[in-house]
Amino acid sequence: MGKNMRKAILAEKDMPAQWYNIAADFKTPLSPPLHPVTHQPLGPADLAPIFPLEIIKQEVSTERYIEIPEEVQDKLKLYRPIPLFRAVELEKALDTPAHIYYKHEGLSPSGSHKSNTAIAQAYYNKKEGTRRIATETGAGQWGSALCLAGTMFGIEIKVYMVKVSYNQKPLRRLLMETWGGKVVASPSPDTEYGRAVLARDPDCEGSLGMAISEAVEDAMQREDTKYALGSVLNHVILHQTIIGLETQKQLEMFGEKADIVIACHGGGSNFGGFAAPFVGDNLRKGARTKCIAIEPFSCPSLTKGRLAYDFGDTAGMVPLVMMHTLGHDYMPPGIHAGGLRYHGAAPLVSHMLQENLIEARAVHQKASFDAAVLFAKSEGFLPAPESSHAIRGAIDEALKCQKSGEKKTIVFNLTGHGYFDMAAYEKYLSGQLEDYEYPAEAIHQSLSKLPQV
Ligand SMILES: *Cc1c(COP(=O)(O)O)cnc(C)c1O
């Protein structure tokens, strides 16, 4: 079976009912997060004002499997299980003996993988009585995912949207508002931190780190409000492991074993959730799948960053975590893959890289759009600029097979669709898209300001 299959479709009853927690299988434990002011290891009480208890438990858990609550499974089944596609036409276009597969997370109603964790986080908040959640969004994918999850569970969502995106991407903002979210441009007059930034620089265009600072302040100020993060943290990656777990079942339906697994890397949540089940099989079952994270050349936290304790936000309000970082006030160039413009990498992904369990590569913007357009012309689906980095990685591996004649099985994660990114495609198609050089000086500067721990 499986020879001429175009896609593997799991029945609803075969959707994974547990998440996989890779922290259970590490030989060396993760370094603990530290309090932003005292630099002492965090206790649950430090996080209780901003996260529900169940999320805090998951953040520090070393249980290998964690049940997905029935209510979360029910909501996920709106769009899951998601098919695993064989990229037959892309293989032909590349004339490669490799088999290429992709998981299409852009088929969720919010358009990206971020719904997988937004739904789980909204559920735990609802269960513990949260009435309102504050969050940040860059390009708008995380904000959209959380606003949709908010309507599912009857929670008000307040989104601090990085000002430059707020002005450039009104469609994403309107999507969030359609789902009932309250969206404000960050820096905003709604928080003390935002007002301070605006007083210094009224034209400040904002950054993801600033928007996080505003959302956390909002959640700290109000009894009825918690905070939610769409990437980086352990519980987010835990929720995203449903991607990798489904993919493993579907590869079996195809009669295949993955040689290479590839995903793009911004904060690390889709890469972590896609790769962790494969890394787990490498650790426990002697499998030998190579897992590769692909990041943008202009924001290369894994390939050029330093492994150190750093803040996740710009104001230094959130805990210090051990991660590959470019420095918390690094301002990445304005590449179109907005979801990949984050200064750090998830602690779980950083740990996997440090232990040589995964590899990382950086690609340029134009090369990623070359890949996106070839993919769109062969497979039809229009990828998000972020996802295009993974496609570039998969195509490069398939081209190596074309030279060597090896029949590898290459699997990548298509994190989102690109229908809100047509302005970026327009630039590419009219030859105006630019590559950014590696911003060595800016990174050197921001790394010199790492907190001394
Ligand atoms: C947010 C986002 C990413 C990057 O985030 P990770 O946490 O690294 O997965 C990638 N692709 C899309 C479509 C996104 O929305």
C-alpha dist (Å) from residue 162 to 210, 265, 380: 8, 20, 31
Ligand 1 site, CB within 6 A: 112, 114, 141-142, 231, 264-271, 339-340, 384, 386-387, 415-416
**What average pLDDT does range 156-184 have in this prediction?**
95
Give yes or no for residue 9 having a pLDDT over 90. yes
- Predicted local distance difference test score (pLDDT) of residue 170: 92
Strands annotated E in 228-357: 260-264, 290-296, 306-311, 320-325
**What average pLDDT does range 356-380 have in this prediction?**
98
pLDDT level of residue 168 (50, 70, 90 thresholds): confident
| pLDDT > 90 in the chain, percent | 89
Q: How many residues does the chain have?
A: 453
Under 8 Å between Cβ of 95 and 120: no
Tokens found for residue 252: 């079996």
Instruction: Name the average pLDDT for the chain.
Output: 96
**What average pLDDT does range 156-181 have in this prediction?**
95
> Which residue ranges make up each domain of the chain?
69-111+234-447
Buried b (16+ CB within 10 A) or exposed e, 174-201: ebbeebebbbbbbbbebbebbeebeeee
Task: Tell me how far apart the alpha carbons of residues 353 and 359 are, in angstroms, rounded to a whole number.
Answer: 6
Measured in whole angstroms, how far is the alpha carbon of residue 363 from the centre of its chain? 17
Tokens found for residue 297: 């050349």
Task: Tell me how far apart the alpha carbons of residues 94 and 406 are, in angstroms, rounded to a whole number.
Answer: 14
**What average pLDDT does range 423-433 have in this prediction?**
96
Which residue's CA is minimally distant from atom 1 of ligand 1? 339
Lowest mean pLDDT among 1-5, 383-387, 430-434: 1-5
For ligand 1, the distance from its centroid to the CA atom of residue 288, given in whole angstroms, is 26
Give yes or no for residue 235 having a pLDDT over 60. yes
For ligand 1, the distance from its centroid to the CA atom of residue 255, given in whole angstroms, is 29
For ligand 1, the distance from its centroid to the CA atom of residue 311, given in whole angstroms, is 20
**What average pLDDT does range 221-226 have in this prediction?**
96
pLDDT digits (tens, 9 = 90+) for 50-65: 999 999 999 999 999 9
Which residue's CA is minimally distant from atom 9 of ligand 1? 270
Give the predicted TM-score (pTM) of the model. 0.97
Please spell the DSSP secondary structure of 353-410, one letter per residue. Answer: HHTTSSEEEEE-HHHHHHHHHHHHHHH---B-HHHHHHHHHHHHHHHHHHHH----EE
- Predicted local distance difference test score (pLDDT) of residue 334: 79
Task: Tell me how far apart the alpha carbons of residues 443 and 333 are, in angstroms, rounded to a whole number.
Answer: 11
pLDDT digits (tens, 9 = 90+) for 107-126: 999 999 999 999 999 999 99
Buried b (16+ CB within 10 A) or exposed e, 315-328: bbbbbbbbbbbbbb
Q: Is the backbone peptide bond immediately before 187 cis, with ω within 30 degrees of 0? A: yes
Residue 107, classified by CB atoms within 10 Å of its CB into exposed (0-12), middle (13-18) or buried (19+), is middle
Which residue's CA is minimally distant from atom 7 of ligand 1? 269
Which residue's CA is minimally distant from atom 15 of ligand 1? 141
Q: Which atom of ligand 1 is nearest to the CA of 240?
A: 9
- Predicted local distance difference test score (pLDDT) of residue 227: 97
Under 8 Å between Cβ of 269 and 415: no
Under 8 Å between Cβ of 2 and 253: yes
For ligand 1, the distance from its centroid to the CA atom of residue 264, given in whole angstroms, is 7
Q: Which atom of ligand 1 is nearest to the CA of 417?
A: 13
Ligand 1 probe mutation, 113, 229, 324, 335, most atoms within 8 A of CB:
113
**What average pLDDT does range 218-239 have in this prediction?**
97
Give yes or no for residue 3 having a pLDDT over 80. no
Nearest partner of 264 among 116, 413, 364, 47, judged by Cα: 413
pLDDT digits (tens, 9 = 90+) for 266-292: 999 999 999 999 999 999 999 999 999
The yes or no reply on domain 69-111+234-447 and CATH 3.40.50.1100 is: yes
pLDDT level of residue 2 (50, 70, 90 thresholds): low
Nearest partner of 101 among 114, 113, 111, 91, judged by Cα: 91
Kindly state the DSSP code that residue 22 receives in the 8-state scheme: G
pLDDT digits (tens, 9 = 90+) for 313-334: 888 888 999 999 999 988 888 7
User: Angle at CA 76, nearest 5°, toward 336 and 16?
Assistant: 105
Q: 3 in helix, strand or coil?
A: coil
